[in-house]
Amino acid sequence: MKIGYIRVSTEEQNPARQQALLRELGVDEIFLDKASGKNTDRPELRRMLAYVRKGDTVIVESISRFARNTRDLLELIEQLTVKEVEFVSKKEAIDTTTPTGKFMLTVFAAVAELERAYILQRQREGIALAKAQGKYHGRAPLSLPDNFEAVVAQWRRGEITAREAMQRTGLKANTFYRRCRDVKY
């Protein structure tokens, strides 16, 4: 069975290009994650790894869609190998059923890891330059809901729990508690 795996980094990114390629290749099942590739903690990746069986082939558009660092890539490939599942990366023309394919996989994984490191380095340099020029001030703080102060007052009086206060304000725990420190009563 041909199993396709697709990953885009954000909800806004469009996976259509990867989907079209995998359809052309005749995959039977597609697993799609909208998450960063910085680690392997991705729900559809976990589902796909549990789903594949001996004799299946996992097909990806490129290695960078599967893993962003050498260690993660090699661990994922090892998991597939143990299950006797083949791996094919279309862009890099890698097929793990051959010794050359296994060697090339290691080389491309190192390149993908280096590429991610360069992206992060350029991002840090760009932010530092923008800060030095006074153009970057970080992310704008979330505006508080209109009911925030009233809900915090109820919470501080013990009338509602912190969880209930967070639900009413729509804030996550770290934001809620940080903003509570700013509100004096």
Closest CA relative to residue 98, chosen from 89, 177, 27:
89
Cα(155)–Cα(183) distance, integer angstroms: 12
Asked whether residue 44 is domain-assigned, the answer is yes
Cα(119)–Cα(89) distance, integer angstroms: 22
Examine the pLDDT at 112 and tell me if it is beyond 80. Answer: no
Examine the pLDDT at 185 and tell me if it is beyond 60. Answer: no
Same domain assignment for residues 36 and 85: yes
Asked whether residue 130 is domain-assigned, the answer is no
Asked whether residue 139 is domain-assigned, the answer is no
Catalytic residue (one of 9, 64, 89, 143): 9
Report whether 17 contacts 62 (CB < 8 A). Answer: no
Same domain assignment for residues 8 and 68: yes
pTM beyond 0.75: no
Same domain assignment for residues 90 and 163: no
64 part of the active site = no
What total number of domains does the chain contain? 2
Asked whether residue 158 is domain-assigned, the answer is yes
State which of 98, 119, 140 marks the end of a domain.
Answer: 119
Asked whether residue 174 is domain-assigned, the answer is yes
Neighbours of 170 (CB within 10 A): 13
Same domain assignment for residues 167 and 76: no
**Which whole number is the average pLDDT over 139-154?**
86
Query: Which domain range does residue 26 map to?
Result: 2-119
Q: Read off the pLDDT of residues 27-75 as tens digits, 9 standing for 90 and up.
A: 999 999 998 888 899 999 999 999 999 999 999 999 889 988 778 888 8
Asked whether residue 30 is domain-assigned, the answer is yes
Same domain assignment for residues 94 and 175: no
> Dihedral sign, CA of 64, 68, 71, 77?
negative
Cα(180)–Cα(174) distance, integer angstroms: 10
Give the containing element (helix H, strand E) for 63: helix 63-66
Q: Read off the pLDDT of residues 72-105 as tens digits, 9 standing for 90 and up.
A: 888 898 899 899 999 999 988 888 878 888 788 7
